[in-house]
Chains A and B, each alone.
Chain A
Amino acid sequence: MRAAKLLASLAFAVLLHLVGTRLLPTFPERVDVFLVIVALSALGGSTLQAMLFGLLAGLAQDTLASGPFGLFGFADTAVAYGMARLAQRLVIQRATGVFAVVSFASLLQQVLVAALAFLLLSNPSLPEPLGMLEQAAAKAAACGVLGMVIYGLGGRFRLAFEARRRGRMGRLRLG
């Protein structure tokens, strides 16, 4: 059940990424949907699950990008593990907390990707440092907002689902 949920969330991320890119060509530059989903799943606190999901989401992202295969896979695996370890030590209940964690995860991922590209690629052609910083900050903020929205919507959906389930159980007992 848990695996099906994670796969569904990955499919959702892929669809959101594809639709976003179709509607707004600069979408992949502005928001990283895969990272948001990875960070949110890591908030559950299970390091193994977060790590494997990060790997899967990162490789999906690598499939759609033109860089060397494994670049985002590496970054997302590491970020997912780190976020899961963080979630074991922190209790995040507010949406602003989610914003902070997802934004931090996005920054961490971008630093890892840039460092890997700089160290391992023969011609990384990274953007100018100042522009890259600005872009990274804006992307982290956008990811944080998206994470907050998805977290909020997910919470509402869970509550509605629970209320409906309780209502049905009540009717069953009465009947």
Chain B
Amino acid sequence: MDERRTGYLLTVLLLGQLVLVAIEGARSTRSRTYAEMIGMRVLGPMARLVTAASGGAVAAGHKVELQGQLLDENRRLRRDVEELRLRLLRLGDVEQELARLGDAVRYSAPLLGEIRAVDVVYADYASWLRSLMLYTGSQPAVVNQPVLSSAGLVGRVVVVAGPYAKVQLITDRAASVGAMILRTRRQGVVRGSGQEGGGLSLEYVPVSVDVRPGDSVLTAGIDGVYPRGIPVGTVVSVEAGGQLFHKIRLAPAVDLGALDQVYLLEHAPLPQQLVKAVPNARR
């Protein structure tokens, strides 16, 4: 091919990609392209292989050390299980009481839904375009499915390609979560800063509201993606941002750098009235 034709091809390729980036950049939600899904299907197994190999290497390296620690760990875990059983018993009582009180005022709190453990096969939480790729096995994830860890909210699924799913972390520059401050129940929007360190900010909280460092922030269940009550982060600093709203910085509840397994929230239950009104809706 001569240089002129190569130049034309270059122009077409660059313009095509420019349009693709512009369209995606203008949208608030991520759209999936077939090329990206094909890419995930090709690169996903490689990422899984590397994760498995590195896991094996680390395990082999620590084998002797691990054998020595196994008894201690076993003892500690048994103690943890006992404590958790006791806590579960207490929570069972609380749950029954909540249900009884709910019945009295004809209110049913939305349930969190079932969770499913999946493996993280690729995690880049340090760079500007941070991302997380999951291997979900035979049951694929669903776009917008919330992703949690035992400590709190991780993000949501944005692209699904067979058994692989790409997650938008809550610290991503494009992420936003409807949230509330636990102590005051005041709602706002948590946004990812996208900056180094992976901080979060809580926006649209009026200056008249009492916010203190150390306050816990949970999902508010108002964005249609995340159910209510999942820990998002803790208030680190509160500054006077402008005339109307506080400038609040949060530390994420989850250490995103230490994730090797996360949980997919299987489904957010729909309100009963909506289920009755739309009988064929996916539940």
Q: Chain A interface (Cβ within 8 Å of chain B)?
A: 11, 14-15, 18-19, 21-23, 25-29, 47-48, 51, 55, 59-60, 62-71, 73-74, 77-78, 81, 116-117, 120-127, 131
Contact = CB atoms under 8 A, between A and B. Distances in A.
B126 A73 contact: no
A32 to B, nearest CB: 10
Given A14-B43, A64-B131, A77-B10, A69 B36 contact: yes
Nearest to B31: A69
Q: Does more than half of chain A's interface fall in helix, strand or loop, or is it mixed?
A: helix
B50 interface: yes
Nearest to A56: B39
Nearest to B167: A66
Given A62-B39, A73-B17, A121-B25, 4 more contacts: A69-B24, A78-B10, A78-B14, A116-B21
B244 interface: no
Interface of B: 1, 3, 6, 9-10, 13-14, 16-18, 20-22, 24-26, 28, 30, 33, 35-36, 39-40, 43, 46-47, 50-51, 54, 122-131, 133, 158, 166, 168-169, 172-174, 192-196, 257
B128 A70 contact: no
Contacts of A22: 50-51, 54
Nearest to A73: B17
B46 A14 contact: yes
A63 B169 CA distance: 15
B24 A125 contact: no
Given A25-B257, A59-B39, A77-B14, A66 B25 contact: no
Contacts of A81: 6, 10
B24 A70 contact: yes
B6 A77 contact: no
A127 B25 contact: no
A126 B26 CA distance: 16
A78 B22 CA distance: 17
Contact of A74 (B21, B35, B192): B21
B127 A74 contact: no
B21 A19 contact: no
Contacts of B166: 66
Contact of B20 (A27, A60, A70): A70
Contact of B6 (A19, A26, A47, A74): A47
Contacts of B169: 66
A138 B172 CA distance: 23
Nearest to B44: A63
Contacts of A27: 126
